[in-house]
Structure 1
Amino acid sequence: MAGSSHGHTPAAWTGVTISFIGFCVAGAFMVMAQPVGFWAGVAVVFLGGVVGWVMSAMGLGQPKDAHEVFQAKVAKIESAGAKS
């Protein structure tokens, strides 16, 4: 995954960070037996997904054809190595 730049975008980092904060909030309130706080944390997790999706739609995510571009680069490197 690391070779394909999977998740290395502002949209991914922002969405995951917001979702992680929501997960921590929900976990803390679950331990404290406070259902309202737990559901607020779950809402923040959902909000992280929405924010990531909106940012991706705005062009801050990985392009749709990024996988094809990566595969073309790998094929080019492999063919150059085979010629040696």
Structure 2
Amino acid sequence: MNAFHHSGNAPTNATQAKERLYSQLSGSLGRMARAIGQTADLCAQLQTDLHAMRTFAGLDAAKLMTVAAQLNPEDADTSRAE
């Protein structure tokens, strides 16, 4: 009779363990979904920052070339003649 009693409790314990594990899995998947969302947001921000850096670098290069041409006008004239 004792053997039947244990077999009756075993599925209940197994069911509880399974439900606990599914609950843990659910929490883990929720955290992972939030982390993926944050990663997507950070990637979008990185793309914006990289575009701004490209724009800034282009403007900075144009300023540098203008200053260089003003400081070395003879170099600019000879390069145009070639």
TM-score after normalising by structure 2: 0.32
Bigger Rg, structure 1 or 2: 2
Structure with larger RCO (C-alpha < 8 A, sep 6+): 1
Higher helix share: 2
